[in-house]
Amino acid sequence: MEQDETGLPRPVLIIAIALGVVLAVGVAGVGVYGWWTERTQQQAEQQAEQARRTGPLAMPPVPAPQAQSPDCAKVIAALPQELTVEGQPVPRREIAQPAPAATVAWGDAEHDPVTVRCGIGSPAELTRTSQLMVVNGVSWFEINEAGNVSWLAVDRGVRVALNAPAGIGTGPLQELSDVLKRTLPKRPVFP
């Protein structure tokens, strides 16, 4: 058998070099596969996030015994087509069918949804000793749940809830307070 300067037979040397090349190509292939898989997963997550922020918004039903009331009809008719969120106008967003009565949503690709529901019942947490916040002449009860903030207008003829992502400020609350002041007279929190 023919040998080179190292004293190894030429076929052994060729096999060793070929195995080294195959190993390097295999390692590179695994790396490219991992990169491709991670990139594909990131793209899928981005598409899911985009879908969550656009298109019809699914809203679970909640008890709203007064949703069909004339007061709720007035409130819903008076709500703006755009809501100011963090200083930017955000358009209304379609609600997936079957849409709950007396419900409106705003949101777009850059903003998580903000929703208003009219005619809902009072939560058990709302008691005569609950702390309320007055915004533009409307009394609100705050409920924090799972990273979202809900505000419940409690001094009108119907309960109106504003649900928004935490940290967006009070702009939507101020706008909704102005709508409620114009459309519904003030009433005692507990009749």
Total-model pTM: 0.72
Across 12-26, 140-154, 166-180, least confident range: 12-26
Residue pair 117/62 in contact by the 8 Å Cβ criterion = yes
Amino acid at 183: T
- For 123, the 3-state DSSP assignment is coil
Higher-confidence residue: 11 or 156?
Answer: 156
The CATH classification of domain 56-183, taken from the options 1.10.10, 2.50.20, 3.40.1000, 3.30.70: 3.40.1000
Query: Is the sign of the CA dihedral 153, 158, 159, 161 positive or negative?
Result: negative
81-127 pLDDT, tens digit each: 999 988 889 999 999 999 999 999 999 988 889 999 999 999 889 99
DSSP state of 189: S
* Dist. CA 130–CA 122, nearest whole Å: 12
Residue 74: how many CB atoms within 10 A of its CB?
17
HSE value, Cβ hemisphere, 13 Å, CA-based, for 74: 14
Contact 158, 71 (CB under 8 A): yes
The confidence score (pLDDT) of residue 23 equals: 78
> pLDDT tens digit string along 43-83?
666 655 656 667 899 998 899 999 999 999 999 999 999 99
Cα separation, 132 vs 135, whole angstroms: 10
